[in-house]
């Protein structure tokens, strides 16, 4: 075993440094793409194409004083963002960027990723709870609402892929990917896309962070490093979920001519673009409407999809 190579993978690519870059890139891309749909320019002055604007913003956030509510639990208040960040970063370790470029690969990749993602809302609820403030508290409770509506379609759609390919391992799933697999899993793909928007609190399902209703949800009381870690965790979550979508449904690193990781990033960009376009065009729905939507439409559809895949596989 080459320890140097493992260390490089963990710390540089596709590890920590790359993930930080991903946060920067997601932030920048979101601003630029949404601005384009608004008819604006977006970041422009700082650095070439405004690329350094995000850097400036992040350093601005880092300079801010860390304010802790006097009734808040100080230790937990500071620990929760770090925990959230590392939990998402852990999921990122399973993503295969090419046939050999991954940090961890086990026979149970998919299940572990889904389990880690499902335990995230509990952390966010905790972030709201330990803030000892009203808006974060409501935000935290709303995260649970998000959990009961989003995670089940996510699991069902994700597992339907595993059913079809007969494996939980990401690399094997990608290797077995072909046109038939794509077509069979098309319904699952749509369900998974909607579910990742719900799980990552993206508009139009950004109910736990609904600015016009509850300010910033569980993030309201956080400043400085804590805010950066939590917001970074949210951005990473989008990246991880997009990466999972690409791996499960779009053939991951597979593609002609270009190296695997380039294909991978191109596909992720497509999913990003979709998410940002939805953000720029769709107003937020209400929390009870979300539950109705998921439990009346999304979950039955996901169950039917599993039955459908079982039938196709038996044929």
Residues in contact with another protein by CB under 8 A are: 34, 37-40, 134-135, 138, 203-204, 206-207, 210-215, 279-289
Output the CA–CA distances (angstroms, integers) from residue 258 to 34, 68, 95, 253, 312, in the order listed: 28, 49, 19, 10, 33
Q: Which is nearer to another protein, 182 or 273 (CB)?
A: 273
Q: How far is CA 288 from CA 192, 237, 272, 285, in A?
A: 21, 24, 27, 9
Q: How far is the CB of 260 from another protein (least distance, A)?
A: 35
Q: Least distance in Å: CB of 287 to another protein? A: 6
Output 34 or 187, the one with its CB closest to another protein: 34
Residue 241, burial from CB neighbour count under 10 angstroms (0-12, 13-18, 19+): buried
State the Cα–Cα distance between residues 6 and 219, nearest whole angstrom.
34
Q: Which is nearer to another protein, 17 or 41 (CB)?
A: 41
What token pair was written down for 218? 């569980």
Asked if 156 contacts 306 with a C-beta cutoff of 8 angstroms, the reply is: yes
DSSP 53-89: HHHHHHHHHHHS-----TTS-HHHHHHHHHHHHHHHH
Coil vs helix vs strand at 308: helix
In the complex with another protein, the residue whose CB is nearer, 14 or 203, is: 203
- Token pair of 147 as six digits: 């959990």
Q: What would the two tokens of residue 269 be?
A: 């960009």
The nearer residue to another protein, 206 or 237, going by C-beta atoms, is 206
Least distance from another protein to the Cβ atom of residue 48, Å:
24
- Give the nearest distance from C-beta 160 to another protein in angstroms: 28
Nearer to another protein (CB atom), residue 94 or residue 205: 205
Q: Please state the closest distance from residue 134 (CB atom) to another protein, in A.
A: 6
> Which residue's CB is nearer to another protein, number 129 or number 253?
129
Q: What's the closest the beta carbon of residue 103 comes to another protein, in angstroms?
A: 36
How many Å apart are CA 167 and CA 83, to the nearest integer? 29
Token pair in block for residue 265 = 């990033």
Task: Write down the least CB distance from residue 178 to another protein, Å.
Answer: 36
């Amino acid at each position: 075993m080459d320890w140097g190579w493992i260390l490089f993978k963990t710390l540089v690519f596709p590890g920590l440094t790359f993930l930080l870059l991903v946060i920067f890139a997601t932030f920048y891309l979101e601003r630029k793409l949404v601005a384009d749909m608004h008819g604006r320019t977006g970041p422009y002055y700082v650095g070439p194409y405004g690329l350094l604007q995000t850097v400036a913003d992040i350093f601005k956030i880092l300079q801010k004083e860390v304010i802790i509510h006097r009734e808040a639990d100080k230790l937990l208040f500071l620990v929760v963002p770090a925990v959230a960040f590392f939990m998402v970063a852990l999921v990122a370790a399973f993503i295969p960027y090419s046939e050999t470029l991954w940090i961890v690969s086990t026979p149970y990749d998919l299940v572990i990723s889904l389990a880690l993602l499902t335990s995230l809302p509990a952390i966010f609820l905790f972030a709201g709870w330990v803030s000892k403030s009203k808006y974060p508290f409501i935000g935290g409770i709303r995260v649970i609402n998000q959990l009961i509506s989003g995670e089940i379609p996510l699991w069902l759609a994700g597992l339907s892929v595993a059913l079809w390919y007969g494996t939980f391992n990401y690399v094997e799933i990608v290797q077995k990917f072909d046109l038939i697999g794509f077509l069979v899993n098309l319904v699952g793909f749509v369900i998974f896309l909607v579910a990742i928007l719900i799980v990552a609190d993206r508009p139009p399902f950004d109910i736990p962070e609904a600015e016009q209703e509850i300010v910033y949800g569980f993030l309201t009381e956080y400043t400085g490093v804590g805010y950066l870690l939590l917001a970074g965790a949210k951005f990473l979550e989008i990246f991880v979920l997009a990466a999972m979508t690409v791996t499960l449904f779009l053939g991951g690193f597979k593609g002609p001519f270009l190296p695997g990781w380039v294909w991978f990033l191109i596909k992720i960009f497509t999913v990003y673009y979709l998410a940002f376009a939805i953000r720029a065009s769709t107003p937020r729905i209400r929390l009870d409407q979300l539950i109705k939507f998921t439990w009346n439409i999304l979950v039955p559809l996901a169950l039917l999809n599993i039955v459908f895949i079982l039938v196709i596989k038996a044929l």
